Amino acid sequence: MESFHALLPRTAADRGTRTWESLGLRLRKPCEPPSNAKSRSLLALALGAAAKAWALFRRREPWLSRLRRQAEAAAVGVDPLNWLEELDSPRARAFVAAQNARTLAALGDPRSWGSPLFGRLLETETTDTDGDPLRKLPQVTELGGLFYDFWSDGQHPRGVWRRTSLESFLSDAPQWEVVLDLEVLGKKEEQNFVWRGYDALLEDGQDSWTVTRAMVCLSRGGADAFVAREFDLLRKRFIPEDEGGFVVPEGKTVLSYRSRDVLLVSSDFGPGSLTSAGYPRVVKAWKRGMPLSDAAVVYEGEACDHVVYGYVARRWRREPLQVIQRATSFHASEWFLLSADDWCHLPIPADAEVTFFGPWLLLQLRSDFEGFPAGALIASPLEAAMEAKAEWEVLWKPERDEAAGTPRFSTLQKLVCTCNYIVLQILDGVRSKLLTLRFDEQRGTWRSRACGSLDGRSASVSVRAVAAWSDAVWFGDASYTQPPKLIYVPDIGTWSGETAAGAQRVRELPPLFEASVDVRQLEATSADGTSVPFQCLRPHGVVDPPTLIHSYGGFGIPVLPSYKATIGAAWLERGGQYVEAHLRGGGEFGPAWEAAGRGALGRLRAYEDLEAIADHLVAKQLATPGRLGLFGRSNGGLLVANQVVREMASKDPKRFAAMVGEVPLTDMLRYHRLLAGASWLEEYGDPDDSTVRPLLRQISAYHLAQDLLQEEKAQRMPEVLFTTSTRDDRVHPCHARKMVELLQNGPAGQNVFLFEGDEGGHGGAAIFERAFIRTMEYEFLWARLEQG
């Protein structure tokens, strides 16, 4: 199910020598204008075109008069900017074109003038680990005795699916065989394909599963929706429909092989087949050779559900389980297993995370259950649980950190199953540690063992199973300043302390930035007395550095220590200070910490947490307000938008001089009617609930900004850049569009910028486009914060 995790509720070489000079580009300092006459002429033409586009788009109407007219429309329940919700209407396209031209004219286009940072970020985009040390090391998966990996780099920006043997992979120079090249496929079919993973057909073999086919999932431009096509791994080609191959049309699909000739499919089957959030609610069993429209429906959820899908959970040497997960909301699900041709409901907590391991059912609790605390991992024989006679026992439970305010706990970040072991990845004070569990058949009890770092570091670790039929694992270890290493452990049962028999270092990323940096974990006190931790990365010897704070604070997603190649190149090397904030709502300290940031009131707590960190940095003379910036994306973009409004309303000296919000939410009274927004009702609250709507308005940055501007109470307009994508089919780009259009109509609206790409979904685009966007964002921040 690796390809679908972004859609679903939670379940369980060297740097190269290519230079921009070799392309005939002279490297200039960031934001330095072109020096020759031709370049100056081109820049003047670009500025002129931007000005004309802006003038054509803008009506000659005083900003306050326009706001009052918009307020009159809003008073009767009509938002005059709703036309910006039309993705491709001529008027909306003109708006986007004008905004992009204005932003590139003001900030510069790093693609055209050879920004040195752009060149660096093209390298680092292939190496940032984003909290997972294994993320940018080859992540091989065993299929039929060979080891497959999807890899993208400067040579292959779209990526290649490739394979090799285990012996070759463990050598110093693996010999890769390309199975599928997305660049070649895209050119052949004239499509901008982005890899979205695969589901392999696993058939029983003597020593491992035999794998000859897979459903390959490809997204156009990086959207969540994708097309799935059956692929022959022996002949390295797609199987055409006229040869009996499965082809699932574009949609937000979940699929899984039930057998060689039957596919479980949850997708867009036409009107009425989706939930209000735009995800599947109908599961079909599709037999090879028949039209998908004629496939039998095996389960059907409700339109009010978040998503409903089916899959096959395969267990080595055991019967596969046919599973239905009906997610009634983002955090709650009902689970069903096929038993005697009928679906058996599992009587378990709706908010638990579920894992099937051998004969066991494992639950990671998010709330208290039958005397077990929230955050604990419990187990029962699966057969007993299916008969409503579960025999639960605790395998691990969180330990409390006695801090002020909201209690903080160690938390189970992830669990990994090998053939005989369960490996727990635990966060304790935002640092990782590992624990293995195995059931002792003779004693009838579970036995645990702590596993230390195999490389002497423990800031961030990650483990993945090599294959379901073995106890071998891949181990990754990294820190903020030390690049990750990949270590092969042939038998996790031999891992004790900081040693494991036969452990072999396989890969190591080279340093990608000058890492003379002090790393400290500090704490600030929020408005309600809660102690809020944050990480501070400060280059040695700098005085009053430009400081950038990054956070997310929602959906139980932790901000984890990891190797920051992009931040290192774009910020730390230039003498900037970088801060990661662990706000309430995130997953760093267990379910109580997460729940404290949920809903409108919880979001306000998270914003107070952020402001407490900013104020702490200033009070301790670690930063100054004129050189303090903020970056956030998605839910973090909502945080940025709200901080913009809070800065506008404040009569106190400014906290943040510049901010960047990627793919943000801003309109919290209509978010549930836009794309996947209805799936976040549990996280934010329901705007259609008359008791919740006033609370949501307190975090609806778009409406708060309307109030300030209409009442002429805005004290200032901070400098802010919003970036989004037309292809984002999760968070609608109108959130950024409407916010920018509103703010630009106010005083000092020239401080507000928008760039909307036409490639890349919510999770991002291909390497080149990602590096371009990030270069623009960091240059924007650096230019403003360096000046103070």
Q: What is the pLDDT of residues 330-385, one digit of tens each?
A: 999 999 999 878 899 999 999 999 999 999 999 999 999 999 999 999 999 999 99
pLDDT band at 24 (very low <50, low <70, confident <90, very high): very low
pLDDT at 406 exceeding the cut of 50: yes
Q: What is the pLDDT of residue 98?
A: 97
At residue 65, what are phi and psi to the nearest 5 degrees?
-65, -40
| Confidence (pTM) | 0.85
pLDDT digits (tens, 9 = 90+) for 121-157: 887 765 554 555 545 677 899 999 999 999 987 788 8
3-state secondary structure of 325: strand
pLDDT score recorded for residue 138: 79
Residue 638 pLDDT more than 80? yes
Q: Who has greater pLDDT, 267 or 49?
A: 267
DSSP state string for 65-100: HHHHHHHHHHHTT--TTGGGG-SS-HHHHHHHHHHH
CA distance 149 to 329: 33
Q: What is the pLDDT of residue 270?
A: 95
Do 681 and 331 meet the contact criterion of CB atoms below 8 Å apart?
no
Residue 17's pLDDT band (cuts 50, 70, 90): very low
- Integer Cα distance of 681 and 686 in angstroms: 5
Q: For domain 47-123+513-787, give the CATH superfamily.
A: Alpha/Beta hydrolase fold, catalytic domain (3.40.50.1820)
Distance CA 218, CA 197 (A): 8
pLDDT at 125: 67
pLDDT band per the 50, 70, 90 thresholds, residue 550: very high
pLDDT score recorded for residue 716:
84
pLDDT digits (tens, 9 = 90+) for 27-67: 223 333 334 444 444 444 555 555 455 444 444 345 455 55
Q: Is the pLDDT of residue 746 over 90?
A: no
Domain boundaries, the chain: 47-123+513-787
Distance CA 295, CA 310 (A): 14
Quick one: which H or E segment has residue 396? strand 393-396
Average pLDDT, the chain: 87
Q: Are 431 and 560 in contact (CB under 8 A)?
A: no
Q: State the pairing for strand pair 577-581/517-525.
A: unpaired
CB 563 within 8 A of CB 133: yes
Beta pairing class for 353-357 and 628-633 = unpaired
Q: Which whole number is the average pLDDT over 90-105? A: 96
Question: What local confidence, expressed as pLDDT, does residue 760 receive?
Answer: 65
**How far, in Å, CA of 472 to CA of 261, rounded?**
31
**Span 242-247, average pLDDT:** 97
Residue with tokens 């400014």: 654
**What span, in angstroms and rounded, lies between the C-alpha atoms of 422 and 439?**
9
Q: How confident is the model at residue 647 (pLDDT cuts 50, 70, 90)?
A: very high
How much is the pLDDT for 667? 98
* Structure confidence at residue 451 as a pLDDT band (50, 70, 90): confident
Retrieve residue 126's tokens: 């292939």
What whole-number percentage of the chain has pLDDT above 90?
Answer: 68
Inter-residue contact 739 to 705 (CB < 8 Å): yes
pLDDT for the residue 48: 54
More confident residue, 764 or 553: 553
Does residue 325 have a pLDDT over 70?
Answer: yes
Segment among 196-210, 335-349, 448-462, 557-571 with least mean pLDDT? 448-462
Query: Do residues 495 and 517 touch, judged by C-beta distance below 8 A?
Result: no
31's CB contacts (< 8 A; 6+ apart) are: 107, 108, 779, 783
For the segment 272-290, the average pLDDT, to the nearest whole number, is: 96
